[in-house]
Chain A
């Protein structure tokens, strides 16, 4: 326990200059100060409890895995980009097909169909950018 532990002691020890005098003052103070006793109890408890758990060791080779993931990132972006492009193409092709096949009396209102397709084309890339990119990064980056 350090002397900094107790604010009351700091006030008390301000006048003491020699370390031996401070130590003697500290011993006397500690016996009566409730704050110090609580600190000591917590200190002992923490030492007992925390030291009883073995800290996990992170495996060697973390550097390699980080770099592998960094190197994988542009590839991942490429994959996500390709999917995005395909989705947009698919969306536009479907919309165009719907316009061509059913212009005057469509089964489904072309306006609604167009909105659906466009909505899908806009939303899917967002999902891809988040989920797929993460999944592919993990797949390529973590050997």
Chain B
């Protein structure tokens, strides 16, 4: 069933079970976008934010005039809610979790000291990434962390493929600048 058909039926008979079809369809992309915006440090909040996105979408269905595609509208809600979560997290700083450190894969034949040095450097790069504007962060994380193709990134961020490439390019340049300012990456 097409999105439009589901939305039409939902307008006639609001039924959360019918909405489940849309949740099932868009769950993956929404989670990816949330993760890309929150980053590894706040990844534990991703499921919570995703649930909130779908609840907000369901409550706002009456106001959705179908001037854009449902997916575009949903991703916009996702973007805004993830940014809200980021702002709240900035007010109450989150200490980097041990899980993140544990999740880092140790390279074969690497000594514990080498692993520690590498993971500290990785942490620093991730910290520097958080200093970039959200669209750059999202594009870079989607591309490098979650392996999302450029076309899908464009759909998730609601921009053209060219703009995504530009985000990636400028993001990389800015990241190097931030790293150099901190004395790394030379």
Which of A's residues lie within 8 Å of B, judged by CB? 2, 4-6, 35, 38-39, 41-43, 45-56, 58-59, 62-67, 69-71, 73
Contacts and interface: CB of A to CB of B under 8 A. Distances in A.
Contacts of A38: 172-173, 176
Interface of chain B, helix or strand or loop or mixed?
Answer: helix
Contact of B16 (A6, A47, A67): A67
B145 A53 contact: yes
Interface residues of B, number: 45
A46 B125 contact: yes
Given A49-B121, A66-B20, A66-B51, 20 more contacts: A42-B175, A46-B140, A46-B175, A50-B144, A51-B144, A51-B145, A52-B104, A54-B103, A55-B145, A55-B146, A56-B35, A56-B44, A58-B27, A58-B46, A63-B20, A66-B54, A66-B55, A67-B20, A70-B16, A70-B58
Nearest to B173: A38
Interface of B: 16-17, 19-20, 23-24, 27, 31, 35, 40, 43-44, 46-47, 50-51, 54-55, 58-59, 100, 103-105, 118-119, 121-122, 125-126, 140-141, 144-146, 162, 165-166, 169, 172-173, 175-176, 179, 185
A59 B121 CA distance: 30
Given A46-B140, A49-B125, A50-B144, A67 B165 contact: no
Interface of chain A, helix or strand or loop or mixed?
Answer: helix
